[in-house]
Homo-oligomer: A and B are copies of this chain.
Amino acid sequence: MFDLDLRSRDPIYQQLVDKFKTLIINNVLETDEKLPSVRTLAQQLTINPNTIQKAYRELEAQGYIYSVKGKGSFVAPIVDVEKKVSLKEIESDLKKILQEAMFLGLTKQEILAMIDEIEQQLGRGNDS
């Protein structure tokens, strides 16, 4: 389900952050939906609870989730993310990788296909 790569260059908690971001962005996890508890997920993935918490904390800092003591962690509404994250930084990263991908032969068509696919996934946001 989460297919973590323990040998990867980027830390486990970062991989978790990315996974959850994707799930939230693609509306697999909906606003106010509960995330697995720190301990539960730690057991499932057989990694240390502290590592999970670090991931959750980072997600909270970026506005993707909110955590309430004694209750759990939950998906935050999109506006919270928009408040916390700067689109400019992301644009800059995007440009860099786009440049490299196109240099290595990725065509405009392929990118457009990718964009359309993403647009569809985002568009079906049920109620928003």
Select one of B8, B86, B100, B119 contacting A108, CB under 8 A.
Answer: B119
A87-B101 in contact (CB<8A):
yes
B97-A93 in contact (CB<8A):
yes
A98-B114 in contact (CB<8A):
yes
16 A–B pairs (Cβ distance < 8 Å), ordered by A: A7-B68, A7-B76, A9-B66, A11-B69, A22-B96, A22-B99, A61-B61, A82-B104, A87-B101, A90-B97, A90-B101, A94-B101, A94-B106, A99-B122, A102-B119, A108-B119
A87 closest partner in B (C-beta): B104
B98-A115 in contact (CB<8A):
yes
Number of copies of chain A assembled together:
4
Residue total for A at the interface (Cβ-Cβ under 8 A): 52
Interface residue A56 (Cβ < 8 Å from any Cβ of B): no
Interface residue A25 (Cβ < 8 Å from any Cβ of B): yes
A30-68, CB < 8 A from B: 32, 61, 66-68
